[in-house]
Structure 1
Amino acid sequence: MVERVHPDDRDGVPAVAHSAESADAGVVVRPETLLLTLFGIHVLDHGIALSTRSVLTVMAELGVGEHATRATLSRMIRRELLRTARRGRQAFLGLTPHGESVLREGLRRLEGPVVDRDWDGRWTLLTFSVPEARRADRHALRTRLEWLGFGPLRSGLWVSASCQDVSPALAELDLLPHAEVFRAEAFMWTDPVRIAREAWDLAVLAEGYGRFCERWSEPARGGLGELARQVRVEAEWLLLIRRDPRLPLALLPEDWPGVAAEQLFRSLRWQLARPAQQQAAELLEFIVDE
């Protein structure tokens, strides 16, 4: 017997797949990002698996066709983010332990603030030199450093305004022998505000937050139902904060739009939680994931 979902408020984390655009703003959100967000909100910690049919229904409303959704789901299964189960003729999709880990990391980031209001003035400096023969590992390390809030200041020198433990990322890639990490303060003529401008493209970040506010200041925009709107809003927000190093306010321009965007996102998240849950109970089919 197929039961109905009773979701609460959980979140996903963005990743890579084919792209889809918002109906009203042309903002690219990849299908894998949308799927992970859907599973983060409505599957993580529920012990359930969603029917492929109901996943396809939600993705169709989000503007992603059946072929693209199935192709993305296949990749996610190969990457061990999702696993399948069958009940009769129906296929169901549940999270793997790896998928749960990815989503929990996204939830941790989503719950955090976009600015640091308690900065002690110290920086984390990471210097590394990866052999050319390990170019793929070097690219993977840079991707992980960006997720952790680091920015490239000079060739081989990355900085973060927070106290970040980068050892897990380095150890995972077997790069600990190729890197050194320091905690330091700006000294003499070195201007921390200039460092922030050089290490991160603050104009691009500000533009992203500004567009988020323009797009979602009217919650009913886009003609989406509550469930699809919830997924879309959280997916877009996760894309924004994935690129955001969460700098101290002292290093950011005045009237930083990330603050207003965060207030809007928190409000939307609260407003959409109950109606999206009610719609999910009507649309999403699930089984207990054993």
Structure 2
Amino acid sequence: MNTRSMIFTLYGDYIRHYGNEIWIGSLIQLLKEFGHNEQSIRAAISRMNKQGWVQSRKEGNKSFYFLSDRGVSRMDEAAERIFKLRNDKWDGKWRMLLYTIPEAKRNLRDELRKELVWSGFGTLSNSCWISPNRLDKQVENLIAKYGIEDYVHFFVSEHKGPRTSRQVVEESWNLDDINKRYQSFISTYSEKFIIDKNKIEKGSMPDGECFVERTKLVHEYRKFLFVDPGLPDELLPDQWLGVYAAALFSDYYRALAEPASRFFESIFREGNEITRRSREYNAFSHPLMVNE
């Protein structure tokens, strides 16, 4: 597993709930549980610093790293989507973004495309991106971030046919491929969940192993942020496996949460302020993890 991606996962699922800051020594110790070496960890966190995802400060001879405002915003958005087990009800409208970014700004265009996929937009045609979700704020932030006011148009509109809204979805996203990915996730983790839950109930699964498995679980499930647009139920196929994958993720996460957090705190308390843990944080369940 990529070191940089694993650091993002640890910040999202643990560190941001403990004052949003960690001593590099603790981060190295945690990532060694996954086989990452000190050199690769330092290189990855340094790269994240240069990219503006994290910032650093010195205290004596210790270096501490914390999420930047940009990093916090991305983590909040990711958490809301990862732990939201039901999609929003559709208001019947489509958000449509069209752009004409010149070839001289190709890198900017490529970055914008990545951001739009992350946010859940699909391509109806070349340079025409659509979503049934309320992404108005995200679009405003992207326009401001990249300074592309002169190159884009954003519409909130209704679809009048002649094809159905589900056919529009089929043209804009490859739901069959996403469903196959969910099937693979379910096949892998349904068996692991049963085995690990039994071991935890018997007290035969060490806290460190629970920490590794919970982090891997979040890390793998987080990948769906880059492929699943989170479409409203009204626009999904009848045999949509995303619902089952979300339920499996929720049950497995909760089973691993308490011992995993115990292990994290056992490492974190050496060199960090454990008292900075958020009062709202509950290791046993995520505040956004609702079944309704």
Query: Which residue pairs with 1:38 in the alignment?
Result: 10
- Determine if contact 1:124/1:164 at 8 Å carries over to the other structure: yes
Query: Which residue pairs with 1:6 in the alignment?
Result: none
Matches within 5 A, 1:178-193: 178-193=151-166
Partner deviation per Cα, 1:147-194 (whole Å, 9 max, x = no partner): 221101111211101232112211211112211122222224222112
Query: Which residue pairs with 1:242 in the alignment?
Result: 226
TM-score, normalising length from structure 2?
Answer: 0.80
Distance in structure 1 (CA, Å) of the matches to 2:271 and 2:98: 48
Query: Which residue pairs with 2:290 in the alignment?
Result: none
- Determine if contact 2:78/2:225 at 8 Å carries over to the other structure: no
Give the drift of 1:96.
3.2
Distance in structure 1 (CA, Å) of the matches to 2:262 and 2:230: 34
Distance in structure 1 (CA, Å) of the matches to 2:18 and 2:27: 16
Query: Which residue pairs with 2:168 in the alignment?
Result: 195
- Determine if contact 1:114/1:241 at 8 Å carries over to the other structure: no
The yes-or-no answer on 1:130 pairing with 2:101 is yes
The yes-or-no answer on 1:269 pairing with 2:253 is yes
Give the drift of 1:144.
1.4
Query: Comparing both structures, which one devotes a greater share of its residues to strand?
Result: 1
Query: Comparing both structures, which one devotes a greater share of its residues to helix?
Result: 2
Query: Which residue pairs with 2:143 in the alignment?
Result: 170
- Determine if contact 1:31/1:69 at 8 Å carries over to the other structure: yes
Decide which moves more: 255-264 or 272-281.
272-281
- Determine if contact 2:30/2:264 at 8 Å carries over to the other structure: no
Residue segments in structure 1 that go unaligned for 5+ positions in a row: 1-19, 21-29
Secondary structure of the structure 1 residue equivalent to 2:16: coil
Equivalent residues, number = 261
Residue segments in structure 2 that go unaligned for 5+ positions in a row: 197-205, 277-292
The amino acid across from 1:106 in the alignment is A
- Determine if contact 1:85/1:91 at 8 Å carries over to the other structure: yes
Query: Once the two structures are aligned, what percentage of the paired residues are identical?
Result: 27
Matches within 5 A, 1:84-95: 84-86=56-58, 90-95=62-67
The amino acid across from 2:19 in the alignment is G
Cα pair distance change 1:276/1:120, threshold 3 Å: same
Secondary structure of the structure 2 residue equivalent to 1:183: strand
Distance in structure 1 (CA, Å) of the matches to 2:76 and 2:271: 21
Match of 2:32 among 60, 67, 72: 60
Give the drift of 1:86.
4.6
Query: Which residue pairs with 2:242 in the alignment?
Result: 258
Decide which moves more: 154-163 or 256-265.
154-163
Give the drift of 1:62.
2.0
Partner deviation per Cα, 1:67-113 (whole Å, 9 max, x = no partner): 32222111012223333445555544333333323322222222334
Cα pair distance change 1:126/1:56, threshold 3 Å: same
Secondary structure of the structure 2 residue equivalent to 1:287: coil
Match of 2:50 among 65, 68, 78: 78
Give the drift of 1:239.
1.4
Runs of 4 or more above 6 Å deviation = none
Query: Which residue pairs with 2:262 in the alignment?
Result: 278
The yes-or-no answer on 1:159 pairing with 2:144 is no
Cα pair distance change 1:92/1:162, threshold 3 Å: closer
Cα pair distance change 1:54/1:142, threshold 3 Å: same
The amino acid across from 1:287 in the alignment is N
Query: Which residue pairs with 1:215 in the alignment?
Result: 188
The amino acid across from 1:227 in the alignment is F
The yes-or-no answer on 1:205 pairing with 2:189 is no
Distance in structure 2 (CA, Å) of the matches to 1:129 and 1:104: 30
Cα pair distance change 1:280/1:184, threshold 3 Å: same
Give the drift of 1:204.
2.0
Distance in structure 2 (CA, Å) of the matches to 1:57 and 1:270: 24
Secondary structure of the structure 2 residue equivalent to 1:163: coil
Query: Which residue pairs with 1:25 in the alignment?
Result: none
Over aligned residues, Cα RMSD in angstroms? 2.5
Secondary structure of the structure 2 residue equivalent to 1:152: strand
Distance in structure 2 (CA, Å) of the matches to 1:42 and 1:125: 35
